[in-house]
Amino acid sequence: MKVAVIGAGTMGSGIAQVAAQAGHDVVLFDTRREAVEKALAALRKTLDRLVEKGKLKKEQADGIHGRIAPASDLRELTGSGLVIEAIIEDLGIKKKLFADLEGLLGAEAVLATNTSSLSVTAIAAACAKPERVIGLHFFNPAPLLPLVEVVPGLVTDPELGARLNVLMQAWGKVPVLCKDTPGFIVNRVARPYYGESIRILEEGIAAMPTIDAALKTYGGFRMGPFELMDLIGNDINFTVTKTVWEAFHFDQRYKPSLTQQRQVESGRLGRKSGRGYYGYGDDESIPSTHVDMVLGNTIVERVLAMLINEAADALFWGIASAKDIDLAMTKGVNYPKGLLAWADEQGPAHWLDVLERLQAEYGEDRYRPSPLLRRLARAGTRFH
């Protein structure tokens, strides 16, 4: 099957590499021919490094690179069985693209969007055959992170999700099936890791290095939230938070922070701009700090309670299965444990108590416990 990838940015070129490594002939399209050439040159360097490290044979690297053809005219995508769009997160632009593609491709071709926050159903509405449109949300860098969220829209052919699930497994990925809701699994469930950490900072409970160190030392997370936001880009993280908040009709659980907004307004976007929550100049480094065990565990418990509550709510609303929610968080954002399995260790009643204490103290709806968490706590049962 011929695979087409639209958008030669970091994500698009990464997806093209994954498809080519799986043995497909790939067309990498961008409106700017030079963007495709640049992406292919960067891929050549990446493959050469893998050969040097002994992770690929030279003939394998040559084969992967040789299977990707550049394109700057949509007509060159004719004959593709699967098209994956990885362009700017703009609903209007995506809808126009999908409408244009439908007239060029065969009736059996699958149209997939790599959107991380927009509605698959809304994108599909631009097509005469919306049943062949589906979300395939890869994580950056696509060749390294195994997770793919498979997201059928409201009218997507029910069999298409199962077919794409099998295909992603053949590509060496870990697919999870989820409903077309704001943020899907990962970008919804992960919001409190950033939002509650910022809240702890704003309240003056702990400084950024302390919060980061606490979640790494006592929580087992690979990166602290402020380090991670700087790596992702504060503009990107803020936009995703704002998009999810608006899509959930301004639910207080997802409310963006003014602290994050000011970072973006000041141009402190993180590593890519040289300064974010931390400085990244030649003579600067992320401060190391020792965290008192009591304070550290208090920080972890508060952030983890919010994460677990969000995972529980995703399960309550049938966004995905408990297994897939846990897989998504371990394989997509490298959490040390699946959140629902983590909740089971101390039991839902413990986490309900933490949330009820926070809600009583602050009187805010952001701390309202999930109905499922309440139900399991009352019954004395667990998620798994």
Distance between CA 280 and CA 163 in Å, rounded?
44
Please tell me whether the peptide bond between 209 and the residue prior to it is cis, using omega within 30 degrees of 0: no
**CB-based burial label for 100 (10 Å; 0-12, 13-18, 19+):** exposed
Catalytically annotated residue among 114, 119, 137, 234: 137
Active-site annotation holds for 149: yes
Q: Note whether 17 and 143 are within 8 A (CB).
A: yes
Structure-token pair, residue 250? 């301004």
Catalytic residue among 80, 116, 119, 370: 116
* Residue 369 DSSP one-character state: P
Tokens at 147, concatenated: 């997770």
Query: How far is 280 from 277, CA to CA, in rounded Å?
Result: 10
Element (H, E) at 102: helix 91-102
**What are the residues whose beta carbons fall under 8 Å from the beta carbon of 141, sequence distance 6 or more?**
10, 14
- Say if residue 239 is exposed, middle or buried (CB neighbours under 10 Å; 0-12, 13-18, 19+): middle
- Residue 116 annotated among the catalytic residues of the structure: yes
Catalytic residue among 187, 197, 237, 370: 187
Between CA 195 and CA 228 the distance in angstroms is 12
In the residue annotation, 288 being an active-site residue is answered as no
Active-site residue among 85, 102, 149, 310? 149
Task: Tell which residue, 77, 72, 117, has the closest CA to residue 94.
Answer: 117
CB of 276 within 8 A of CB of 269?
Answer: yes
The Cα–Cα gap between 25 and 48 comes to 20
List 275's β-bridge partners, or say none: 270, 279
Catalytic residues: 116, 137, 149, 187
